Amino acid sequence: MTRGAEEDEHQLADISRPTPYPRTRRKVRVASMLVYAALLLLWSETLGIPNDTIGVFLWLWLGTVAWNIEAEPRYHLNFLKDWWIPVAGLVIYFFTRGLTDELGLPVHVYMPIRFDEWIGFGETPTERLQHALCGDPCLRTSEPRWYDVLFTTVYATHFVTGLTIAAVLWVRNRAEWIKWMRRYVIINFGALVVYIAYPMAPPWMASEEGWLHADVVRITGRGWHDIGLGRMDVVLQGVGNPVAAMPSLHAGITFLIAIYGIQRLRTPWRWLLALYPLLMCTTLVYYAEHYVIDVLAGAVLAVIVLVGCQVWENSRDRARAPSPDVPL
C-alpha cells in the first residue's frame, strides 16, 4: 500500500471514530432538547425557518450540543472541524447559484413547455393541478385548503432535511456521514453546472411573460399564513435564483434521500420514503415552481450521483485492499 493511501486511511479512521464523551443523562438530555426546541421555534416565528447553509449548520450544531450536553467541549468542537469543508462548499454553491442569472446567457423557455404539454395532452400538469386544487382561475388570494399546508410543509423540508440527516449520521456513524455528505455536496454542484449551462424559466415566470397559453401563478408558501406562519411564508418565497430551474434540486434531493434510505435501512417501513419525492414533485408542479421535466431531471441527477459515488467508493476500496501474498 502506498504512503498516500495509508494517510487517507488514517484520516478516515480519525473522523469515523467519534470523540469519546460521557453518557448524557436522560433527564438532562430531555431538558436541554426542550430548551433547544423552544429557541428554534422562537427564531422561526420571528425571523423565519433557517434556510441558508450557515443558519442551518449552526442550528444543527446547537442541536448536537443539546443532545450530548454533558459531552466534553472537544466533542462539540469536532463538529466544526469535521463540517467546515462541506459547509464551505455548500456556501460557495449557494452564492454561485444566485449569480448565474447575471451571466447574460439566454433563458430557455419553450422546450419544457412543449414537453409538459405533450405529457399533459395539450395542457401542462401545472395548469391541471392549479385548476383542480386551487380553483379556476387560481389566485394567490384563493382560500387555501388543508392540503396546501401539507404541500408547503413538504416544500420547506428541502432547506433542512439533507443536512439534518447528516447531523444524525455524524452523531451515530461517522463513516456513513462521510458517504452521505459526499453525495449531498456533489448533487448540489451537479445541479449548479446545469443551471449555468442551461438557465430556464419556471412555469410562473413563463406565465408572467406570456409564454404559456393559460395563466398559472406562483403560490409557494400557500396555507402557512393562515396558521400563523406568515413570516416563514415570506422567507420561502424569497429564496433562490429564478432561472435555476433545470434540474429541480428540490426534487433531486428528495429522490437522493428516498433511494439512499431504502438502500440502507432494513425495516419494511423504509418503502414509505418513496412518498417523499412523490409529494415534493406534486408540490413543485402545483405551485408552478417547476415543470414535470424539471423534477424528472432531478431524479436522473440523483441516480447518477448515487451510482457514481458507489462506483467510486467500490473502486477505492478495492485499491486499498491488501494484495494477497504471492507464494514464491
Query: What's the pLDDT at 16?
Result: 47
Say how far apart CA 139 and CA 71 lie, in whole Å. 52
Query: What's the pLDDT at 234?
Result: 47
Query: What's the pLDDT at 214?
Result: 82
User: What are residue 200's phi and psi, to 5 degrees?
Assistant: -145, 140
Instruction: Name the residue ranges covered by the structural domains of the chain.
Output: 85-320
Per cent of the chain over pLDDT 70 is 86
Query: What's the pLDDT at 6?
Result: 44
Query: What's the pLDDT at 69?
Result: 93
SS3 160: coil
Which run of H or E residues covers position 284? helix 275-286
Say how far apart CA 138 and CA 133 lie, in whole Å. 9
Say how far apart CA 302 and CA 253 lie, in whole Å. 7
Looking at this protein, which amino acid is placed at residue 301? Answer: L
Closest by alpha carbon to 116, among 250, 191, 50, 207?
207
Query: What's the pLDDT at 136?
Result: 81
Closest by alpha carbon to 193, among 255, 100, 302?
100
Burial of 228 (C-beta count, 10 Å sphere; 0-12/13-18/19+)? exposed
Say how far apart CA 130 and CA 287 lie, in whole Å. 8
Per cent of the chain over pLDDT 90 is 62
Contact status, residue 28 vs residue 65, Cβ threshold 8 Å:
no
SS3 243: coil
Say how far apart CA 111 and CA 150 lie, in whole Å. 30
Work out whether the CA dihedral 34, 39, 43, 45 comes out positive or negative. positive
Query: What's the pLDDT at 144?
Result: 86
Output DSSP code: residue 325.
Answer: P
Q: Where are the beta strands (DSSP E) in the chain?
A: none
Residues of the chain scoring pLDDT < 70: 1-22, 100-101, 225-240, 323-328
Say how far apart CA 94 and CA 88 lie, in whole Å. 10
Here the cell at position 121 is 395532452
**Tally of CA atoms within 13 A in the half-sphere of 21 that contains its CB:** 22
Here the cell at position 305 is 450521483
Say how far apart CA 65 and CA 71 lie, in whole Å. 8
Query: What's the pLDDT at 140?
Result: 82
